């Protein structure tokens, strides 16, 4: 249990503390994202989340938060998540996202294969409950495995 809380903190707080490149602002909502190779996870954390540690496996983490009213903390929210990933060779991958909830925190994990120096473009569509138009974003990430 201690590892899960640490992992959650690692995945959710790091984007909020870094540059705005790890977040998209949609007015009422903010989407935080993080992509990394699974070999960077400590073994206990990978086991707790059912993730195979491998430098050839990428992990995408997403969190959708509703902006707070003054004096309140942001609230993570449920969302329908669709992720398409494409590399420079044009290979398209539809990623399955797994919802993970711990207490009030909600985030979505997707796993995918990567090769050395591969650049992956993620096209993401998130639809929080009650929202008509999906929140859409795109970003590129290069992965190094050697």
Confidence bin at 74 (pLDDT 50/70/90): confident
Domain extent, residue 38, equals 2-143
**DSSP 8-state code for residue 21:** G
Q: How many domains does the chain have?
A: 1
Q: What is the mean pLDDT of residues 38-61?
A: 93
Burial of 14 from C-beta contacts in 10 A (0-12 / 13-18 / 19+): middle
Pick the closest to residue 90 from 48, 124, 119, 128 (CA basis).
Answer: 119
CB atoms within 10 A of CB 77: 16
CATH number at residue 57: 2.60.40.3340
What does each C-alpha distance from 2 to 6, 38, 40, 68, 134 come to in angstroms?
6, 19, 18, 28, 34
Q: What is the distance between the alpha carbons of residues 112 and 132, in angstroms, rounded to a whole number?
A: 29
Q: What is the distance between the alpha carbons of residues 81 and 126, in angstroms, rounded to a whole number?
A: 5
Is pLDDT of 3 > 50?
A: no
Q: Print burial letters for 128-137: b (CB count within 10 Å at least 16), e (below 16).
A: beebeebbeb
Confidence bin at 72 (pLDDT 50/70/90): confident
Residue 17, pLDDT score: 39
């Amino acid at each position: 249990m201690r590892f899960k809380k640490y992992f959650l903190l690692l995945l959710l707080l790091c984007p909020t503390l870094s540059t705005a490149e790890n977040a998209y602002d949609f007015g009422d909502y903010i989407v935080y994202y993080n992509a990394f190779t699974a070999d960077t996870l400590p073994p206990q954390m990978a086991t707790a989340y059912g993730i195979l540690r491998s430098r050839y496996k990428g992990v995408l983490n997403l969190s959708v938060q509703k902006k707070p009213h003054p004096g309140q903390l942001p609230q993570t929210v449920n969302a329908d998540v669709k992720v398409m990933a494409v590399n420079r060779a044009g290979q398209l991958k539809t990623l399955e996202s797994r919802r993970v909830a711990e207490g009030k925190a909600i985030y979505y994990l997707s796993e995918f294969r990567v090769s050395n120096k591969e650049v992956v473009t993620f096209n993401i569509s998130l639809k929080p409950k009650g929202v008509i138009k999906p929140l859409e974003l795109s970003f590129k990430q290069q992965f190094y495995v050697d």
